[in-house]
């Protein structure tokens, strides 16, 4: 499971970028919609490029360290 963040120093990533990272530890990788629902239910912090926009308004970024912690806490070591 150490492959999750091997070459990444990113603090924020879009769902599309997270799907690329998750290919290292999940097969198959969940859809963007599934990831969004899961992360929202888990309370993973997200940030908008335009925080004043209520709907739409730009790209949403998720906290990579929180995503990593979320998956590490739910995966069984091999």
What pLDDT, in 10s, does the model give residues 20-53? 988 887 888 899 999 999 999 999 988 887 767 6
Q: What is the DSSP letter of 28?
A: S
Model pTM? 0.72
At 66, phi and psi to the nearest 5? -70, -40
Q: 16 - beta bridge partners?
A: none
Tokens representing 55 are 């709907």
Residues 60/47, Cβ–Cβ less than 8 Å: yes
Region 7-29 average pLDDT: 83
């Amino acid at each position: 499971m150490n492959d999750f963040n091997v070459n990444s120093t990113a603090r924020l990533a879009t769902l599309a970028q997270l799907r690329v990272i998750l290919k290292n530890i999940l097969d198959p990788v969940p859809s963007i919609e599934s990831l969004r629902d899961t992360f929202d239910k888990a309370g993973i912090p997200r940030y908008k490029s335009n925080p004043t926009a209520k709907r739409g308004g730009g790209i949403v970024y998720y906290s990579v360290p929180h995503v990593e912690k979320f998956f590490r806490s739910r995966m069984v070591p091999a």
